[in-house]
Amino acid sequence: MIKVLTWNCNGAFRKKWSTIADLGADLLIIQECEDPSMSSDGVYQDWAGVYHWTGLNKNRGLGVFARNGLVLNRVPLFLDPLELFLPLLIDDKWPLLATWTKQANSPTFGYIGQVWKFLQSNREFLRHPGAMLVGDLNSNAKWDVWDRWWNHTDVVNDLADTGLRSVYHEHFWEAQGQEQKPTFYMQRKLDKSHHIDYVFCGSLWTVLDVEIGYPEDWLQLSDHMPLIATLELNSKSVIAAT
């Protein structure tokens, strides 16, 4: 069993990690966090432990932190000029694409368009029954544009063709764009809520539980709520994959 957490911490993660650590995740994908190696906070550096980080600003990047003996190794994919993606292998077995999508100075392919671009050149990395794509996509199906071929819905369908499905939508039996549990409150206002953070995983993983933090607990720390997925390896699928 593995507990996967994604959270856009809205900066200053060195002051917030203890709160998120209490949730007991095995794998933490944190957006807008400082690079521990560049931090002057020794306690934060010690807590970081096994991690990988990427970003253009040492104070606001994308970090992946492993716990409970998990091993992370970076996979050298060509990503320029995409932002921000961190391809890793978990325990030398399971592909993980951590992400915090950005505009990336692209007049056309910002945010979910960055994921679409990634899939055009690196789809095979995720074509594995144990693969995961986790992070802040800054996207939702309700923002689809009728004449655009890389809408949120297009990317979700593309991921499904690659073998990945959203654990939230599977667990709660909700359609894309019809989410009842927001992950983001723009300007920290309850009436400006959206679902833009996701965990997608392959067929090797059975979804046991999905949780999203409550605004009364988290808005003091960030405009995003943590999303936590508890997954278990499907033994039949593991045998078929070996």
Domain parsing of the chain, residue ranges: 2-241
pLDDT digits (tens, 9 = 90+) for 18-41: 999 889 999 999 999 999 999 999
Asked if residue 102 lies in contact with residue 111, where contact means CB atoms within 8 angstroms, the answer is: yes
Give the Cβ contact number of residue 104 at 10 Å: 17
Hey, what are 1's tokens? 């069993």
Q: Which of 124, 151, 143, 137 is nearest to 198 (CA)?
A: 137
Read off the amino acid at residue 137: L
pLDDT digits (tens, 9 = 90+) for 46-92: 999 999 999 999 999 999 999 999 999 999 999 999 999 999 999 99
* pLDDT at site 238: 52
Domain 2-241: homologous superfamily in CATH: Endonuclease/exonuclease/phosphatase (3.60.10.10)
* pLDDT at site 239: 44
Q: Tell me the pTM.
A: 0.95
